Amino acid sequence: MTMFSARNWREYPHRYRLEASKFKKSGKTYFPKRIVDPETGDTEQETVKLPDTGKIVTYTVIRVAPSQWGDQSPYALAIAELTDGTRLMAQLTDCNVNDVKIGMEVRIEFRRIQTEGHQGVLSYGYKFVPKWY
């Protein structure tokens, strides 16, 4: 499918700067940013930057991958809970896929993610790496 670069560019605040919404009433943080707090209906918010460390809450190893990642499989994909309680999904890299475990401490790094769509837009974003790395 043809992806216009605006679609990628629009997500830069999240993918490049880890920007999230912190709502006034509930004090809860959501990533990516959203207009309405799903719990309170509140729209008053400030933009905050997510912490860049957390723990793996679950993971898998993708062994049959979509074509963009064919040359990278197997790769680990995980959900991490960051130190502020926010959760996000990303690839876990710079480690052996067989060493990935729930509870593992990770850090977020800025990485190239994929060449997206038929136009081949180079897309960057975040990946997890082991915290000690």
Partner 1 sequence: MREVCIVGVGFSKWGEVWRKSIRDLHTDAALAAIKNAGVDHIDSMYIGCMSGGLFVGQEHLASMLTDYLGMRGIPATRVEAACASGGLAVRQAFIEIASGISDIVMASGVEKMTDCSGNDATFALATAADQEYEVFNGATFPGLYAMMAHAHMAKYGTTRAMLSAVSVKNHHNGSMNPVAQYPFKITAEQVEKSVMIADPLHILDCSPITDGSAAAILTTVDIAKKLGKPYVKIIGSGVGTDTIALAQREDLTTIKASTIASQRAFKMADKTIDDVDFAEVHDCFTIAEIMVAESIGKYEPGKAGEAILAGETSLEGKFPMNTSGGLKSKGHPVGATGVAQVAEVYKQLTGQAENGRQIRSNPKIGMTQNMGGSGGSSVVHIMEVA
Which residues bind to partner 1, rule: CB under 8 A?
Answer: 1, 11, 14, 30, 32, 57-69, 75, 77-79, 87-91, 102, 113-114, 116, 123, 125
Distance between CA 42 and CA 76 in Å, rounded? 36
Distance, CA of 2 to chain centre: 23
Q: By C-beta, is 78 or 106 nearer to partner 1?
A: 78
Minimum Å distance from CB 93 to partner 1? 10
Q: By C-beta, is 24 or 32 nearer to partner 1?
A: 32
Q: SS3 for 15? A: helix
Q: Which two tokens stand for residue 52?
A: 């860049």
Distance between CA 64 and CA 70 in Å, rounded? 8
Minimum Å distance from CB 130 to partner 1? 18
Distance, CA of 9 to chain centre: 16
Contacts (Cβ under 8 Å, ≥6 apart) of 119: 2, 3, 4, 5
Minimum Å distance from CB 61 to partner 1? 4
Q: By C-beta, is 26 or 68 nearer to partner 1?
A: 68
Which residue, chain included where needed, has tokens 């509140």?
42
Minimum Å distance from CB 32 to partner 1? 6
